[in-house]
Structure 1
């Protein structure tokens, strides 16, 4: 976690969602922290690298399952 995480409100990481279906993970994240928007991102996609407290990348593999711990950023 970066020091920037301390400035964000609510839950900031979801290790328990590893292996979960991406759409289910996104709904869970937004339910557990309504201040963020969970965005599903297919493996290998390019994303912005700016840090934002209102965004969580949900990285999914070719089967649509989460393969990286979703964190605020």
Structure 2
């Protein structure tokens, strides 16, 4: 089983809650070059697997980040 503390680099971005999706993507990928971002519209089903190389950026219809982005 994986845990966030086993991953390389920064693992969460609470400062991006309420930010524009584009700003969040650039910030995350700049601060942790080991991850790729996935923009996900609230309500969209996703897999529950864990990945140290993925950060989901949950957004609303106006492309505002609705959850704290974290590795997973």
TM-score, length-scaled by structure 2: 0.94
Contact 1:23 1:40 in 2 (8 A): no
Could you tell me which runs of 5 or more consecutive residues in structure 2 were left unpaired when the two chains were aligned: none
Partner of 1:17: 16
Report the Cα offset of residue 27 of structure 1. 1.2
| C-alpha RMSD over aligned residues | 1.0
- For residues 22 and 41 of structure 2, the distance between their equivalents in structure 1, rounded to whole angstroms, comes to 12
When the two structures are aligned, how many residues end up with a matched partner? 71
Query: After the TM superposition, which segments of 4 or more aligned residues of structure 1 sit over 6 Å from their partners?
Result: none
TM-score, length-scaled by structure 1: 0.93
Partner of 1:29: 28
Report the Cα offset of residue 32 of structure 1. 0.3
Could you give the per-residue CA deviations for residues 29-66 of structure 1, whole angstroms, max 9, x where no partner exists?
00000000011101111111100000000000111000
Partner of 1:69: 68
Q: Is 2:48 aligned against 1:49?
A: yes
Contact 1:42 1:60 in 2 (8 A): yes
